[in-house]
Structures are given as structure tokens and as C-alpha cells.
Amino acid sequence: MKVRVDSERCQGHTLCAISAPDAFELSDIDGHATPASEDVAPGQEDKVREAARSCPERAITLLDQG
Ligand code: SF4
């Protein structure tokens, strides 16, 4: 599974990093999120799905493969 954050939509609510702290990194400046890695580690998939659901801006896109 791959994850992307749309930087135009992200408003820095940081909810994604609360759901999946190992999968998202937050900017020290504005709190905007970027994926720690585009490829989601297998053990992180459920947390990243939850993060995508929790994002108020719908800024997180998941790409399921196979
Ligand atoms: S929850 Fe959404 S808007 Fe908030 S930091 Fe994460 S990606 Fe950005």
C-alpha cells in the first residue's frame, strides 16, 4: 500500500500523526504532514487507513496494490 498527502489540502491538523505516529512526519513550522515513507510498512496499514479516515481535509490518499 502506498500513501500520499496532498500538500494543498493538508491544513496541519496533525490528526493523521496521532493515528499513525510512525507513518507521518509533521513539519515543525506549520504542522503539515508528509508520509515517513510512500510505501506503508505492513504493520502500519491499519493505522494509516485510520489516519486517512480521520483527516478532516481528505488530504490523505491510499493506493492499495494487488
Ligand atoms: S490529518 Fe490531514 S490535514 Fe491534518 S496534518 Fe494530517 S494530512 Fe494534514
**From CA 14, how far away is CA 16, in angstroms rounded?**
5
User: Which amino acid is it at 16?
Assistant: C
The minimum-distance atom of ligand 1 relative to the CA of 15 is 1
Is pLDDT of 56 > 80?
yes
Query: Looking at residue 11, what is its pLDDT?
Result: 97
Say if ligand 1 is within 6 A of residue 3 CB.
no
Say if ligand 1 is within 6 A of residue 33 CB.
yes
Is pLDDT of 63 > 80?
yes
Question: Domains in the chain, start-ordered, CATH in brackets?
Answer: 2-63 (3.30.70.20)
Residue with the three cell numbers 486517512: 52
Nearest to 31 by CA among 48, 12, 49: 12
27, HSE (Cβ side, Cα atoms, 13 Å): 12
Is pLDDT of 66 > 70?
no
**From CA 31, how far away is CA 12, in angstroms rounded?**
5
N-to-C CA span, the chain: 9
Q: What is the pLDDT of residues 7-48, one digit of tens each?
A: 999 999 999 999 999 999 999 999 999 999 999 999 999 999
Is pLDDT of 65 > 80?
no
